[in-house]
Amino acid sequence: MLKKRARLWLAICVMASLAALGACGGSKDDGPKEEPSGATKYAPTGNEGSITGKISLTGEAPAPQPIDMAQDANCKANNPSPTTETVVAKDGKLQNVFVYIKEGTTADGKKIADFSFDTPKTEVVLDQKGCKYVPHVLGMQPNQPLKVTNSDPTGHNIHAIPKSGGGNEEWNESQPNGAGPITKTFKRSEILVPIKCNQHPWMKAYVGVVKHPFYAVSKDDGSFEIKGVPAGTYTVVAWHEKGAEKTMQVTVPAKGAATSDFTFDAGAMAFGSGGGSLEMMPAIEFPMLGRH
């Protein structure tokens, strides 16, 4: 009797394992695809224009806070007086704002979301220098290589934290002093994927993964430029890590430039928790890529 029951259990276990294996294999094959089927491959026509603008910050911006790196003396070698980069503003202009085309229609009536785009082969470099990420905010396209380098005489542990269920995998890899680059990709669009270092809790970066190449990050004078934009009318979004997001409609003329200036209000942004706060903003879904 017992033997019979044991055999039954064994059979159930084997079947369950096989089912689990099947599910694994199946999910691999049916994994998220970036491009909608039947998408038209985007091809420039020669009439592309650009979107340029400045990001202003009104109100009082919190001053950068000193970072105590006492836990790792080697960090000082490349960064003698480290400060937070949560808000980087100078003369009322805001750096590290991620600006991108969210949706829109080209002058010949095609939705930008309906195009597929080539994956750039060029690597996007995220360096670790002075125990901070350089750059602090960056953009790339799905499946484009992200090369993480370590210029510090110390070890780091790079930890990418995409939102769960969005199709991008969380990863977490240590990179000792002197180790070669680590190259990774993100399969899906995501605004934005936070990256932190498990060794140094103050280290943070944000990667905007956008289906198309129409994005930019504001520089230290608050300026940005998105080049190669097909003539058309678009919704442009400006995103800052402190939870602020601005949206604007712009029309890009053929071979011309559209201006898209954004103004953030320091009072309305979540600066209250301090310039050195270490919380991670939840990544926001990129709506035009909602289809799977």
Residues of the shown chain interacting with Cu ion in the complex, contacts defined by CB under 5 A: 156, 197, 199-200, 203
- Distance (Å, rounded) from C-alpha 139 to C-alpha 152? 23
Is beta strand 262-265 parallel, antiparallel or unpaired with respect to 49-58?
A: parallel
Instruction: Give residue number: closest CB to Cu ion.
Output: 197
Shortest Å distance, C-beta 152 to Cu ion: 8
196/212 with CB nearer Cu ion: 196
- Distance (Å, rounded) from C-alpha 53 to C-alpha 246? 13
Shortest Å distance, C-beta 4 to Cu ion: 58
148/250 with CB nearer Cu ion: 148
Shortest Å distance, C-beta 79 to Cu ion: 11
Collapsed DSSP state (helix, strand, coil) of residue 23: helix
Q: What is the dihedral of CA 180, 150, 124, 52, to 10 degrees?
A: -170
Shortest Å distance, C-beta 61 to Cu ion: 26
156/246 with CB nearer Cu ion: 156
95/154 with CB nearer Cu ion: 154
Shortest Å distance, C-beta 281 to Cu ion: 20
Query: Among residues 168, 176, 114, which one has the least CA distance to residue 146?
Result: 168
- Distance (Å, rounded) from C-alpha 217 to C-alpha 237? 11
Q: Give the contacts of 204 (CB within 8 A, at least 6 positions apart).
A: 85, 133, 136, 194, 195, 196, 278, 280
Q: How many separate helices (H) and strands (E) can be counted in the chain?
A: 1, 21
- Distance (Å, rounded) from C-alpha 9 to C-alpha 3? 10
Q: Could you give the count of Cα atoms lying within 13 Å of 20 in the half-sphere of its Cβ?
A: 6
177/233 with CB nearer Cu ion: 177
156/242 with CB nearer Cu ion: 156
95/199 with CB nearer Cu ion: 199
Amino acid at 262: F
Q: Tokens for 92?
A: 């009322």
Shortest Å distance, C-beta 99 to Cu ion: 28
Q: Tokens for 100?
A: 């991108």
Shortest Å distance, C-beta 156 to Cu ion: 3
52/78 with CB nearer Cu ion: 78
Query: Among residues 236, 233, 254, which one has the least CA distance to residue 245?
Result: 236
Shortest Å distance, C-beta 87 to Cu ion: 21
Q: What is the DSSP letter of 111?
A: B
